[in-house]
Amino acid sequence: KNEVEQSPQNLTAQEGEFITINCSYSVGISALHWLQQHPGGGIVSLFMLSSGKKKHGRLIATINIQEKHSSLHITASHPRDSAVYICAVRSRHNTDKLIFGTGTRLQVFP
Amino acid sequence: DTGVSQDPRHKITKRGQNVTFRCDPISEHNRLYWYRQTLGQGPEFLTYFQNEAQLEKSRLLSDRFSAERPKGSFSTLEIQRTEQGDSAMYLCASSLAGRWTDNEQFFGPGTRLTVL
């Protein structure tokens, strides 16, 4: 079992829909990242959080430390949101390396 | 552009050849990380540096792989005697680690390696 699991693996939506991507992890963490990866490979950091909730534009990220679960929400989705969204955690145990999920491929159709 | 840069962006090589990739971190960042991503998978950790010191290496980093950060600024990742299984995207990230920072990692565009 992977230490970081994401669901769903693939997601299609119509423009304007509300989207939720889930991330569960099994290790103790000091922080969790949500990352966006477009075709061509470049990774952009969307959020880094260790508790509660963060919002940036149409994106909202939440984390529940007790349940070891995080969600990324996209409100009013748009075709330009089409990308792979990756959850990554930073272990609490004296290391800075990130452990990544396999990603959720999102396609938003007009 | 003051972000993380990587060179080259693409590399095609024949099996058995050596390749070297370069990463230039954000200028004030003291930590630099290398990750590898194969098709359809999330990235996997390879190694990271604090300044010039290599602090951690993954078991994925076989003897054919070596990484350096000689002056605590740019880093190189060399793969000797490349194999087809080395074909992947090699990602570099950097961060500012310190008592009062959140140590967020920022990623470069990656180097895509294809071994024929």
Chain B positions touching A41 (Cβ under 8 A) are 37, 89, 91, 109-110, 112
CA distance A67 to A48: 18
Given a cut of 60, is residue B1 above it in pLDDT? no
Whether residue A46 lies within 8 A of chain B, CB to CB, comes out as: no
Q: Compute the half-sphere exposure of residue B66: CA atoms within 13 Å on the CB side of its CA.
A: 7
The model's confidence at residue A97, banded by pLDDT at 50, 70 and 90, is confident
Average pLDDT over residues B54-72: 90
10 Å CB burial of residue A62 (0-12, 13-18, 19+) is middle
Given a cut of 80, is residue B69 above it in pLDDT? yes
Predicted local distance difference test score (pLDDT) of residue A94: 64
Cβ contact A31–B102 (<8 Å): yes
Whether residue A60 lies within 8 A of chain B, CB to CB, comes out as: no
